[in-house]
Homo-oligomer: A and B are copies of this chain.
Amino acid sequence: MENSKKRLRQRLYRIIFESDTYTGRMFDVWLLIFIVLSIAVVMLESMPVVREIYHSKLISLEWFFTFIFTIEYFTRIYCAPNRKKYLFSFLGVIDFLAIIPTYIAFTFPDAQTFIVIRAIRLLRVYRILKLYHFVRAGNLLLLAVRRSLRKIFIFMMFILILVVMLGSIMYVVEDGKNGFYSIPLSIYWAVITLTTVGYGDIVPVTALGKFLATFIMLLGYSIIAIPTGIVSVEMSRTFKDTTESDKECHGCGEPNHTPTANFCRICGARLDQIS
């Protein structure tokens, strides 16, 4: 009895959490289709023209998808080897957040919109693809971005201070008129300008305001180079680290050598070409 339960859990685990079996892969494909469809339903529901005609049908569909995802969620909990670990893992939390809005929508109708959090579940697509090169490319990207985060964070701190200063100056220059009604609004304008978004909903009107705006634009044009530079360099480093490992030391196993190395930089043994 205990044994058959254990075997059931193991089989379910292979189907739901892995994708190396035919059933497992089919499960993932259908899950993705259901995720996409359930997001489509929320989008359609939000469109006034569609809602007017198909409201009740869309609500039914939504309950159907939420029902399926709820079953899936509890099955995942059931068959996870380490339940606590799954429940508090990134994907586990997303799985939970993806079903909760429909239930909460009874009391807070707005909550329903947050079903789109299901979009994050699309990340599971990687499991189906399981193409070595895609996974590796994704990991490299992530690694490079993570390596850049500290520098980007410092840069963003600087941008925030800059934007507060520029917004305040423009608030004084435009004298609280022409859309620059308060400092927060002027900061909003400064961000729009510095990031080169340029909605045009707030625009300097005075001559001095336009003159300053010109400088802010040129400044934004120059500093947009900084995050790009940071990411480029970190990517270059990350990719290099991983591509140059075509030599391996026989002495210590160290795989990370530059192409011009003759000797292992760790143990000093002579290197031989592998590739």
Chain A residues within 8 Å of B, Cβ to Cβ: 39, 42-43, 46-48, 110, 113-114, 116-117, 119-120, 122-123, 125, 133-134, 137-138, 140-141, 144-145, 148, 150-152, 154-157, 159, 161, 164-165, 168, 171-172, 176, 181-185, 187-188, 191-201, 203, 207, 210-211, 213-214, 217-218, 220-222, 224-237, 239, 252-268, 270-271, 273
Contact = CB atoms under 8 A, between A and B. Distances in A.
Contact of A116 (B141, B168, B260): B168
A226 B119 contact: no
Contact of A156 (B113, B140, B218, B234): B218
10 contacts: A113-B183, A114-B172, A119-B161, A141-B154, A188-B213, A195-B196, A199-B199, A200-B200, A233-B239, A264-B265
Given A48-B181, A222-B227, A225-B230, 20 more contacts: A42-B168, A46-B182, A113-B172, A116-B183, A184-B211, A185-B210, A188-B211, A195-B196, A195-B217, A197-B220, A199-B199, A221-B224, A221-B227, A233-B239, A260-B260, A260-B266, A263-B267, A265-B265, A265-B271, A268-B270
